[in-house]
Amino acid sequence: METFLSQLIFGLQRGTIYALIALGYTMVYGVVRLINFAYGEVFMIGAFVSFFLVNAVSLPQPILVVLALLIPMITCSLLGLAMDALAYRPLRQKPRLAALITAIGVSFFLSNFVSYSSGETVRSSALAAFIIAGLLLLYVLGVKYLNFPVKATPNFKPVKFVIPIVSLLLVGGIFWVSRDLLVELRWKGSSFASYPVERLIAIEKIPLYKTVYITNIQIMNFAVSVVLMVVLSYLVNRTMTGMAMRASKNNKDAVALMGVNVNRVISITFIIGTALAGAAGVLSAVTYPRLTAFMGVQPGLKAFIAAVLGGIGSIEGAMLGGIIMGVAEQFAIGLLPSSYGPARIDFTPLADGVAFAILIVVLLLRPQGIFGEPPQEKL
């Protein structure tokens, strides 16, 4: 009973993290039918931004806690906006496969970029980001005021370049500010950075029932996720933007005819999804303080499976799917024997596969997921 309860608590905690990432997947999929594989990487970047911030700034603890959550969320939503504007928007009218491949490319790019910009190369990466941002800026100014290239098309909009330039500057700035830290840490390859939780909050165990404990970090975790999910529900169900979002899910063309800027709705969806993934990254880093450049790949895939399990496109589904997934995985870790039989077989590595086993079962039995509607073939 005690084991069950404490495993349940750990499972719920794991589950809320999956649920937060899964929300991003499911919202974007609902509106644009795109699996944005890069959410796992957004998650990782959220964790790292928070890591830099907490290491670099010394502020009173309560302010630091709030900042350590908010700044990564803002950074990640900018990143999401940039991703959408640069990689996905140009492909919106193209076959869906092209966008899917692009998403894999973005994911590959981000994780390897972070992996590369560690250790001694961080200075050059920061400089490279600054230089590219500068060149873009020069290009924009040149086209705008100097008729720089021969072909200055009339629909040239400098606004389109604001997001990439700002995000590049931001990334470069973060690298530059934390360069000494990064060079010192050298979390390259197999090594990793460990998140300084003690600077945020002192870990306390609160007894619940006999030997069952809940830590204050877990409570914070639950509180943050619940608040975020409530805010999200309000946003989607009670505001005009949310209404536009839900309507775009049904029929994008009709929504556009109603005078809604669909591209803006999609951008907002990306912003919300990536901000949630960033928050999940911070929560995960606080709980499992081991950061690597590839830490996002597995949670990203598992969160996607959670979204499929709940019914992709459905927000309640993503929340429920994430929680089921987290609990199932935690129970697998807790219950699989670590040395079984005379051969002392260690079964725990199999826990990693539970998510994928769930996926295959779901797709065979109920491909539309728990809350999803069966797809309709249209000719």
Partner 1 sequence: MKPTTSTILGLIAFYALVMVTSALGVMNDYILRVINLMMINIILGVSLNLINGYTGLFSVGHAGFMIVGGYVAGFMTTLLFGITKDTPYMEALPLFLVSILAAALVSALVGFLIGLPVLRLTDDYLAIVTIGFGEIIRVIFNFITFKKKVGNWELDVGGPRGLLGIPPLSNFTVIFLFTLFTVVFIRNFVFSRHGRACIAIRENEVAAHMMGIPITRYKVLAFVLGSTFAGIGGALLAHFIQLLHPTMGGFMKSVEYLIIVYLGGMGSISGTIVAAVALTGLSELLRPIGELRMVLYGALLVVLMLKQPGGLMGQREFPFLLPERERKIYAAQNR
List contacts with partner 1 (CB under 8 A).
29, 33, 35, 86-87, 90-91, 94, 96-102, 104-110, 112-113, 115-116, 297-298, 301, 304-305, 308, 343-347, 349-350, 352-353, 355-357, 359-360, 363-364, 367, 375, 377, 379
Q: Which is nearer to partner 1, 242 or 313 (CB)?
A: 313
Instruction: Identify the CA nearest to 303 among candidates 286, 326, 283.
Output: 326
**What is the 3-state composition of the chain as percent helix, strand, coil, each rounded to the nearest 5?**
75, 5, 20
What is the nearest approach in angstroms of partner 1 to the Cβ of residue 222? Answer: 28
| Residue 62 in tokens | 């309560």
Q: Closer CB to partner 1, residue 150 or residue 379?
A: 379
Q: What is d(CA 241, CA 264) in angstroms, rounded to the nearest whole number?
A: 9
Among residues 256 and 336, whose Cβ is nearest to partner 1? 336
Shortest distance, position 344 Cβ to partner 1, whole Å: 8
Distance in angstroms (rounded) separating the CA atoms of residues 332 and 213: 20
Confirm if 45 and 115 have CB atoms less than 8 A apart: no
User: DSSP secondary-structure letter at 375?
Assistant: P
Nearer to partner 1, 33 or 246 (CB): 33
Q: Which residues is 290 bridged to in the sheet?
A: 194
Rounded alpha-carbon distances, angstroms, from residue 155 to 88, 94, 147, 150: 20, 21, 14, 14
Question: Cβ of residue 154: shortest distance to partner 1, in angstroms?
Answer: 22
- DSSP assignment of 251-267 equals -HHHHHHTT--HHHHHH
Q: Measured from the CB atom, is 147 or 155 closer to partner 1?
A: 155
Residue with tokens 């008729």: 147
Q: Is 270 helix (H, G, I), strand (E, B) or coil?
A: helix
- Select 106 or 260, whichever has its Cβ closest to partner 1: 106
Helix segments in 33-121, DSSP class H: 39-56, 61-83, 96-116
Half-sphere exposure in the Cβ direction for 266 (13 Å, CA): 20
Nearer of residues 204 and 346 to partner 1, judged by Cβ: 346
Measured from the Cβ of residue 54, the count of other Cβ atoms closer than 10 Å reads 24
The distance of closest approach from Cβ of residue 188 to partner 1 in the complex, given in angstroms and rounded to an integer, is 8
Residue closer to partner 1 by CB (options 108, 213) is 108
Report the nearest approach of partner 1 to the CB of residue 86 (Å): 8
- Minimum CB distance to partner 1, residue 194 (Å): 22
DSSP state of 210: T
